[in-house]
Structure 1
Amino acid sequence: MEVLDLARLQFGITTVYHFLFVPITIGLSALVATFETLWLRRKDPAYLRLTKFFGKLFLINFAIGVVTGIVQEFQFGMNWSDYSRFVGDVFGAPLAIEGLLAFFLESTFLGLWIFGWDRLPRAVHAACMWLVHIGTLFSAYFILAANSWMQNPVGHTYNPETGRAELTDFAAVLFNPVQLVAFPHVVAACYMTGGAFVLGVSGWLYLRNRHSDDDRALYRKGLRIGAAVTLLAGIGVAITGDVQGKVMTEVQPMKMAAAEGLYETAEECAPFSILTIGSLDGTEERFSITIPCLLSYLGTGSFDGQVEGINDLRERYVAEYGQDPGQTYYSPGDFTPNIPVTYWTFRLMIGLGLLAAGVSALLLWVTRGGRMPRRRGWGVVALSVPVVTVLASSFGWIFTEMGRQPWVVYGLMTTEHGVSPSVSVTEAAISLITLTGLYAVLAIVEIGLLAKFIRAGADPFVEPPDPTHPDHDDDAPLVFAY
């Protein structure tokens, strides 16, 4: 394998692994804040127990997410120095703001939330978790702004003397059309994942048959809230994804063509295949199940809209990029992404998302009116929902990034020109093996901690001290609540 292959493999492994924690962190922070707010308003002990129980699981996930996320930035300098040099002037601003504003907001108010149970007024304490959630949204926005620029570079000029993209309009980067549709789509997916996490854990605990009636009522409440959030967020994912698909077709028509394996331009009414059996690259079809005109609608908003095919787009890209020797960052060749990967990740993203929403709707139905299934197999069904939603999000990111290939910055720089020229195959292999091994250890730690605290269940209700009470001791030492 070459350095390029190893560098791409390493970045893919570490990025997908890190993103396993991101949607849970964003979604769960909103739900924990909601539980605490409901406790303040309704004085129902169940909501405080849910707050502390899922707050504990949130902290575990947050810590591992931070550790795995740090590696992402170091990789830019390790394996992708030419890429970093090319995009540094543009990426510097959103990534710096993400670190200085968003992460500081998250970490500061998370610390206040952890240690402030007996120090902060209750409304202020609940507001801290809402600010943590807002910080996660800011973080997602600025990171997605950087990624959206890679998908649709705007607000810059190319300086041929320095060989760099130079920022000219920061607002254009922040309000990139791709960013404006990607952000709500990702956030909706995060809420869906957070709801699925609450659903899965609560459903499994309810069906263990090892809890009191009060505990079972608590977990039933958590299951229904999680299922409702998953279903509603799933609808939001579908709506925002539909809008995003149309913008994607406009700015990256090759990605949509590759998602269907569409080689010849469909003048009108392009079908969408649910399943195709044929050659691996999609050039030969032996059997397929298709929905007429659906691809035209997904790409253009019209059932008779035109969707360009891979062959026509390839000719256009070669003419535009591959035959211009003056552009050092362009390389002649095939501008087609990996067809099997884009084809199947697109379908897995959609299919698993629909499955998670469908199972959530089913669980809401079977638990209506005080009902609750008794068979323990339903616990496995509940636990499958968070797994399915996380996989759907991961496949969505794989599709987004692999579908852009061979570009690392669409239309400006190919991936092969972004790799570090001074890194050897041996060095790249060592870093790949080291980081993969480290992440495997972190996975064991994460799963072990989550399993330990989930099995223990929610702690009994203990009302936290009220710092506004006249007898409260303001000089008591800080207590770690978890």
Structure 2
Amino acid sequence: MELDIVALSRLQFAATALYHFLFVPLTIGLSIILAIMETVYVMTKRPIWRQMTKFWGILFGINFALGVSTGIVMEFQFGMNWSYYSHYVGDIFGAPLAIEGLMAFFLEATLVGLFFFGWERLSSVKHLLVTWFMALGTNFSALWILIANGWMQNPTGAALNPQTMRMEVTSFADVLFNSVAQAKFVHTVSAGYTIAAIFVLGVSSWYLLKGRHIDLAKRSMTVAASFGLAASLSVVVLGDESGYLSGEHQSMKLAAVEAMWETQPAPASFTAIGFPDQEARETHYAVHIPWVMGLIGTRSLDTVIPGIDELVKQADGRIRSGILAYDALEEVRTYGYNTIPADVKARFEANSADLGYALLLKRYVDDPRQATEEQISKAAWDTVPQVAPLFWTFRIMVGLGFFFILLTATFFWLSAKHRLDAHPWLLKVAVWSIPLPWIAAECGWFVAEFGRQPWAIEGVLPVAVAVSNLSASTVLTTLLGFVAIYTVLLIVEMKLMLKAIRKGPQLDAQDIEANETSPYAYPPRTLSA
């Protein structure tokens, strides 16, 4: 890939997004786990549950601070590196982004402050309400950015104003209740729950292996195993929903993930493993599972999933239709808003849905109407993303998802049998599994974003048209700067987290008093070391 302005802008946004998403899902998941633990404390009055909430809350707070600081930069990148994108779709994209900012920086941050500084100032019930509102605020903060991202995958509720050359909202309800956005939200949040559950499970397993904080570790593992099992099962179910919606709205992504070069008779088989060859347009040594892809992609036995070759032919036709729309658009813009001749308006509206496909030609020619047959063919094949990375990334993600189900189910069963520390080797597996859900989550985002190339807005605005008019050296400099700063932040975060974990839970005055007077007090040895 040539490191031109488009490639560098994509790489910069990908790097900052992947760094940012190292912190976000743990924050989302831990917020709910904290609320569950504090609920048990308020209901039982057992001081250990209060101490558990405060201990895991420290790790939540460290992660929250890094998540907010790394997220700020991403929003400014739209104006810096993607100025035409911001101009073209800012009226739609900006609204959910602004709401997300308000929730993250005002509502959520205020509740986080009350959570940490309200233990001695609020009653137990009031503090519990704060914790639950903080958890809900953290989760709904993610909703708005995923609504914005879902609209990029399925641009509904908006239309192009040919006079201003900007997309404008026609139905905010359609933007808000976009089926792709809603599926992405629940799927992403469930992934965050899984990450937090495996994190708590792994850290608690480390405590058991070290013989430290036994009571806290076992109770935390019980919560994490049950919560994680439900979350990991949800990820698989909701991932199936995302696959189905991809078949409806992003057929090329689905075909590329499956390395389906030619259209198969319904129901299509699923390629469990193989080696995609994009030049030869075939998958070598493929192992197929009959019917599975047809059920995932269409939820039927008689609906055909189009292959890559057929979708390229469809893109060719849409490019030609888009050229007609581009020609009509140039004529429309010579008139005032109320003086456009009916025949010109009709010609534009008949082909306007394919205007974005004509913009794919901008990579090869300034005026799409002057494109040659060869350039049209190249533009049609540009709609095919790199298949091999998508193919393997998707399978890594799915494989890890099933591993998480097995791991949490095993610890859930051991918890029910009160044998969490019966198998040291299994505790070691849990410790070494801590980074795996992050790998799965990053793979998921890679599939979602890399799979919709070459589009910034699916079928509407190509990435190559959306960038700012900057020099490649400028973007490269900022890219290297962001990577350096974010790497330092990541190292700082990991050191703070490890320091807090090694230090373990700390007793304050109220904990000591509760430990001395409560009939449910836990042995002091479990809070020492």
Matches within 5 A, 1:228-247: 228-247=226-245
Matches within 5 A, 1:182-201: 182-201=184-203
Q: Which amino acid aligns with 1:400?
A: A
Cα contact 2:33–2:223 (8 A) shared by 1 = no
Matched with 1:13 is 15
Mapped partners of 1:279, 1:268: distance in 2: 24
TM-score by length of 2: 0.84
- Return the offset for 1:465: 10
Which shifted more, 448-457 or 343-352?
343-352
Q: Deviations over 1:309-329 (max 9, x none)?
A: 001111101211356331463
Q: 1:342 aligns with which of 387, 390, 401?
A: 390
Percentage identity across paired residues of the two chains: 41
SS of aligned partner of 1:67: helix
Q: Deviations over 1:85-119 (max 9, x none)?
A: 11101012111112224542111111111111111
Matched with 1:150 is 152
Cα contact 2:25–2:191 (8 A) shared by 1 = yes
Q: 1:329 aligns with which of 352, 359, 362?
A: 359
RMSD of aligned alpha carbons: 1.9
Unaligned runs of 5+ in 1: 467-482
Q: Deviations over 1:258-312 (max 9, x none)?
A: 1111011112121111210353667233312221111111101124431110011
Unaligned runs of 5+ in 2: 327-354, 362-375, 514-529
Mapped partners of 2:446, 2:283: distance in 1: 24
Matched with 1:60 is 62
Matched with 1:89 is 91
Which shifted more, 183-192 or 454-463?
454-463
Mapped partners of 2:415, 2:37: distance in 1: 20
Matched with 1:478 is none
Matched with 2:268 is 270
Cα contact 1:266–1:307 (8 A) shared by 2 = yes
Matches within 5 A, 1:112-123: 112-123=114-125
Mapped partners of 2:508, 2:413: distance in 1: 29
- Return the offset for 1:376: 4.8
1:437 matched to 2:484: yes
SS of aligned partner of 1:463: helix
TM-score by length of 1: 0.91
Mapped partners of 1:236, 1:461: distance in 2: 38
Matched with 2:256 is 258
Matched with 1:48 is 50
Q: 2:292 aligns with which of 289, 294, 301?
A: 294
Mapped partners of 1:174, 1:336: distance in 2: 29
- Return the offset for 1:52: 0.8
Cα contact 1:270–1:304 (8 A) shared by 2 = no
Cα contact 1:359–1:385 (8 A) shared by 2 = no
Matched with 1:166 is 168
Matched with 1:307 is 305
Mapped partners of 2:314, 2:275: distance in 1: 29
Cα contact 2:25–2:195 (8 A) shared by 1 = yes
Cα contact 1:155–1:169 (8 A) shared by 2 = yes
Cα contact 2:266–2:302 (8 A) shared by 1 = yes
1:169–1:410 CA distance, 2 compared to 1 (3 A)? same
Which shifted more, 292-301 or 452-461?
452-461
Q: Deviations over 1:134-189 (max 9, x none)?
A: 11122111111111110110111102232211112111100011122222111211
Cα contact 2:190–2:234 (8 A) shared by 1 = yes
Matched with 1:394 is 442
Matched with 1:69 is 71
- Return the offset for 1:464: 5.7
- Return the offset for 1:374: 5.6
- Return the offset for 1:457: 1.5
Q: 1:428 aligns with which of 448, 451, 475?
A: 475
Cα contact 1:278–1:287 (8 A) shared by 2 = no
Mapped partners of 1:305, 1:384: distance in 2: 43
Structure richer in helix, relative to its length: 2
Count of aligned positions: 461
Q: Deviations over 1:335-363 (max 9, x none)?
A: 11111122112112211111112111122
Cα contact 1:329–1:414 (8 A) shared by 2 = yes
